[in-house]
Amino acid sequence: MSLDLDNLVAIDVHTHAETDGCGHYSLPDDLRAGADKYFGAESGPPTLDEMAAYYRQRRMAAVVFTVDAESALGHRRLSNDDIAAAAAEHDDVLIPFGSIDPAKGKVAVREARRLVTEHGVRGFKFHPSLQAFWPNDRAVYPLYETISELGVPALFHSGQTGIGSGLPGGGGIRLKYSNPMLLDDVAVDFPDLTIIIAHPSFPWQDEALAVATHKPKVYIDLSGWSPKYFPAQLIKYANSLLGRKVLFGSDFPLISPDRWMRDFDQLDIKDEIRPLILRENAITALGLTAP
C-alpha cells in the first residue's frame, strides 16, 4: 500500500461501499431507505472513486467494506473483488476489507484466503444481526481460524442497528446477535486474532468495555454515532484504560467524517489521547506498521 502515514491526519476504520455505480446497492431498497432515514444521511451513496476523492481532500484514509448477507436477505452482495480493485487504484487513501457470509462455510474460508493473498484485503467485516448468526457459533470458527492465520483483523457490528429501524418487525433484523459479550468467546478461542467491536454498543456498552479491557487484541471503533451522544462511560474509558484501544470510525456515508470530527472536537478528550484515537491506534490495529 502507498499510504503516507506521516501525512494522514486520521484513519477512518469504518466506511461502507453501498453501490457498484451501476444501479446495484449493498442493501435491499427498503432496508437502505430505512437506514438513511434513521441516520439522517447527508447524501446519497458515493461511488468508490468519489469516496477516495472525498477522503483524499481531507488527508484521511478510510477502511471500506460491504456486508455480505446473501443467505439472510436473499440480496446479491457487492463484489469484494471490485472493492479491492478500486482500493488498489486509490491505495493512498482506501484500505479494503472483505465481507463474507458466514453461512457459506468452506466457500467462505476459501474466499477469505484468496482475498488476502491475491487481492490485498486487509481485514473482514461481520454484521451478526444482518447476517443472522451468533458470533461465537463454532460453525464459523474455521473462518476465524483462517482470518487469524492470515494476520488480519475481524470487525464486528455491535449493538442496535439503524438497518431495519422503523420497518414492521424491524425488517426481520434481530438485535440479539450483536451483543459484544459474544465476542469474548471469540477472543478467548482465537487469542492472536485482532477483533474490532464496531460502534458504541447500545444497549450493551458496558459489555463492550469489559471485553476490550480484558482481552489484549480487542478494540472498539466509535462509528455510527455522533460523538455528542457517546455514553459517559465510553468517554471515561477512552481517556484512561482504553486510550490505546479506541478507534476513529464514522460509518460514512451514513455519518460523514466532517460531522463526526466537529462533534469530537467538543468532547472532553485528553490532548494526548486525541491523536491515538484519530490515527495511531488504527495503525497498530490494522497492522499498517509494526506495533
| Backbone conformation region of residue 170, classed left if phi is above 0, alpha if psi is from -120 to 50, else beta | left
pLDDT tier at 291, thresholds 50, 70, 90: very low
Low-confidence winner among 3-7, 73-77, 81-85 (lowest mean pLDDT): 73-77
Cβ–Cβ contacts within 10 Å for residue 254, how many? 22
Q: Residue 74's pLDDT is what? A: 86
Domains recognised in the chain with CATH numbers: 5-285 (3.20.20.140)
CB 1 within 8 A of CB 52: no
From 59, 67, 56, 78, select the one nearest 15 (Cα to Cα).
67
The rounded mean pLDDT for the chain is 92
End-to-end CA distance of the chain: 17
Report residue 260 CA to chain centroid gap.
15
Q: State the Cα–Cα distance between residues 15 and 55, nearest whole angstrom.
A: 11
Which amino acid does the sequence have at 62? A
pLDDT tens figures, 243-282: 999 999 999 998 999 999 999 999 999 999 999 999 999 9
Strands 246-247 and 218-221, how do they pair? parallel
CB 14 within 8 A of CB 155: yes
Reported in sequence order, the residue ranges of 79-209 that DSSP labels E, i.e. its strands, are 94-96, 124-126, 154-157, 195-198
